[in-house]
A and B are shown apart, each in its own frame.
Chain A
Amino acid sequence: MKIVKLLLLFAVLGIGATATVMYSGVVNVAADEPHSELVYWLLEETRENAIKKAAQAIDVPDLSEPELLLTGGVDYEFMCSGCHLKPGQSESDMSLGLYPSSPNLTIANKEHEGHEHDDDIQAARKNFWVIKHGIKASGMPAWGKTHDDQRIWAMVAFIKQLPTLTPEQYQVLSAIE
């Protein structure tokens, strides 16, 4: 009985503390004021592991088909480049303003911190999942609501080649026909 009362007390205290934090407005939600290293690490690890688990069963098709690059390139230019940049670009208003900042997709996946050991298949799975489902409270939309899987795979194929493209190659592949 004592243990039950103790647990109830902790539960009430926990709810009270949560309500206090929520309604007091003490939490700083400004995107231009970064989290502490510990909070950032906790959030990032949670996110990466959630995506890895959710994407593990995805079958990756052949991404070497040139036609995929033509569709993916145009979509990337109009839907992605504002945040994720294009060859020859190191920042944009969106990439500077978002927090967490949108990854620069013009650099190779393995050069991103925390992704040094990703292989191409794993990277493709994760990219597909993130493009399709988005990420909560991050600014990354769920493009799957308006784009079918084939179109998303085309974007994944294009993103795979993006780090190898010169600005001239990018311009040709991303131009509307």
Chain B
Amino acid sequence: MRTLTKLALVLIPTITLSMTATAHDPAMHAKEADKADCSKIDHSKMDMDDPVAVAMMKKCMKQDEAAKKSMEDMDHSKMKDDDNEHNH
């Protein structure tokens, strides 16, 4: 009986831990897509008759709007006040 108990104590955690290995999502290895780097684009030099320039403007504007919306959707009341932390 004692042997069986010891065996169970070893095997159950081992089997449980080994099952978590199959839960690993291969998608974690997928290349993370970069966002558009709009900082290097000089808008003053853009020719608005050029489809490349217009496409870049559209992409950057969409990205800006998405970033703004994400900021608006944030619950600012739950943000820590950095100043208070420093004063302590």
Contacts and interface: CB of A to CB of B under 8 A. Distances in A.
Interface of A: 64-70, 73, 161, 164-165, 168-169, 171-173, 175-177
Interface in B50-73: 51-52, 54-56, 58-60, 62-63, 66
Contacts of A169: 41, 52, 56
B36 A175 contact: yes
Contact of B55 (A69, A164, A171, A176): A69
B34 interface: yes
Given A171-B36, A176-B35, 8 more contacts: A67-B55, A68-B51, A70-B55, A161-B52, A164-B52, A168-B41, A175-B33, A177-B62
4 interchain residue pairs of minimum CB distance:
A175-B36, A66-B55, A66-B54, A69-B55
Chain B residues touching A, range:
10 to 19
Contacts, number: 56
B76 to A, nearest CB: 25
Determine the main DSSP class of A at the interface with B: helix
A70 B52 CA distance: 9
Contact of A177 (B41, B54, B63): B63
B34 A70 contact: no
A66 B51 contact: yes
Contacts of B63: 177
8 contacts: A66-B52, A168-B37, A168-B40, A169-B41, A172-B41, A173-B56, A175-B34, A177-B59
